[in-house]
Amino acid sequence: MKVYKVINNNIVRSYDEKGNEIIVMGKGLGFKKQVGDLIAEESVEKVYRFQDANNSQKLVELLERIPEDHVRIANLIIDYAKQSLHREFADSLYLSITDHISFALERNQKGIPLKNALLWEIKKYYPSEFLCGKESLEIIKRESGISLQEDEAGYIAMHLVEASMSSEQPASSMLQTIDDVLRIVRYHFQVELDEHSLAYERFMIHLKFFLERVATAQETGEETALYSILEAEYPAEFACCDKIRNYFQKEKGFEVTKNELVYLAIHIHRIIESKGGKSDEL
């Protein structure tokens, strides 16, 4: 490998044997190096390969502006996530995790905490990723001496979930399905949804994760007692959920569990309540 561009003392751009652009990390790799200089193979610690040239360029721009220690910590977290969760992730994870870790550490230094409004949902639906996020905070503390709040574990877990979603449901199909669900909610309550509200943001993220679980038949268990209680309290929301359940049965061939319907109903209630819409079934 040869140096194509020096990003900093420890990171350079290069090309592999197939002519694909790569980003190479290692102590001193870029120190006093010129374009065309050979890269010492024994000094290479990490090689980033991206199928998406846009993500590759974004990572280069990120690496040029953030501290190298932040990059190293992010790599440790991703390596740990791969081992503990026994899965591979999309290339975009290197970009999202590195950017988030650096931003979180900068905010901590400035005394600017960022509350995670979705922390409860993340703990509930993605316990393994959340535990990985919790361990990530220990890695950060060990490597930097900085203790971050539990909210950050939730954010890290979200990045892990989004980067490991299966390809069973293409992005275009997922967006169309989400649009169909939103249309059912709008029609059922005869209300326009506030797309800038926190409730809407929560609902959109919940839908994204919900579709992944339904498409891959991931069970979240049956909570029949809670279902009965909430069905009596939120009849219009559950009537709407019944339409959504029928939609998935007829259009997608998926079965939606009562447990999933419970949390769909809760989110629908929040989004309608935040809008001030009526909860009377049409």
Beta bridge partners of 13: 5, 23
Contact in structure between 193 and 200 (CB atoms under 8 Å):
yes
Q: What is the mean pLDDT of residues 10-27?
A: 83
Q: Report the C-alpha gap between 230 and 6 in whole angstroms.
A: 59
Q: Which amino acid, residue 68?
A: E
Whose tokens are 């980067």? That residue is: 163
Q: Name the 3-class secondary structure at 185.
A: helix
Q: Report the C-alpha gap between 136 and 146 in whole angstroms.
A: 12
Contact in structure between 220 and 185 (CB atoms under 8 Å):
no
> For residue 253, is pLDDT > 60?
yes
pTM of the model: 0.64
Pair of tokens at residue 14: 């290069």
Task: List, in sequence order, the alpha helices (H) in 86-148.
Answer: 92-109, 119-125, 127-144
- Give per-residue burial for 270-282: e unless 16+ CB within 10 Å, then b: bbbebbebebeee
- Looking at CATH, the fold of the domain delimited by 5-49 is given as Transcription Regulation, Sacy; Chain A (2.30.24)
Q: What is the mean pLDDT of residues 218-226?
A: 60
Q: Name the 3-class secondary structure at 154.
A: helix
The CATH class for the domain spanning 171-275 reads mainly alpha
Q: How does pLDDT run across 183-219, given as a tens digit for each residue?
A: 999 999 999 988 877 788 778 878 887 887 777 666 5
Pair of tokens at residue 173: 């199909």
Which pLDDT does position 240 carry in this prediction?
97
Which pLDDT does position 217 carry in this prediction?
61
The CATH class for the domain spanning 68-164 reads mainly alpha
Contact in structure between 97 and 72 (CB atoms under 8 Å):
no
Pair of tokens at residue 185: 């909610």
Q: How does pLDDT run across 72-112, given as a tens digit for each residue?
A: 999 999 999 999 999 888 878 888 899 999 999 999 998 98
Four-point Cα dihedral 246, 252, 253, 255, nearest 10: -60
Segments making up each domain of the chain, as ranges: 5-49, 68-164, 171-275
Pair of tokens at residue 54: 């846009």
Confirm whether 68-164 and 171-275 share one CATH topology: yes
